[in-house]
Amino acid sequence: MLIKLIEVFELNKGSTTNLTGEKSQYSLREVFVNPNHVVCLREDELMQQHHESGMLPEKMNEKLGFTKIHIDRGHSGINITVVGNPSSIEDGIRRHATRLLKG
């Protein structure tokens, strides 16, 4: 079973304008992750800095935080940044695992 998260991803430069008239460099989208392939969760401080400098969508709550997730793909892995601090993401993964155990 997959869990749904909100990924922060980089846009093509100059594709979207935010409320202040500046070009937004990041946007949000849903992503579905297999929690069995999550190797590492860590706070993404750089994304928090980008958010504070206005590079992310305007309507985001600054207190949510950002987590970089390393996902195993066999010989390699991918990293994605999602909305939420590492503790809240880990809680979501744990709740998912508990549901699987209970059936």
Q: What's the pTM value of the predicted model, to 2 decimals?
A: 0.80
pLDDT in tens, 25-73: 888 999 999 999 999 999 999 999 888 888 888 777 778 899 999 999 8
List C-alpha distances in Å: 22 to 13, 51, 59, 62, 65.
Answer: 11, 13, 15, 19, 22
Sequence-distant (≥ 6) Cβ neighbours of residue 80 within 8 angstroms? 7, 9, 31, 33, 68, 69, 71
> Which pLDDT score is estimated for 7?
96
pLDDT in tens, 66-90: 999 999 988 889 999 999 999 999 9
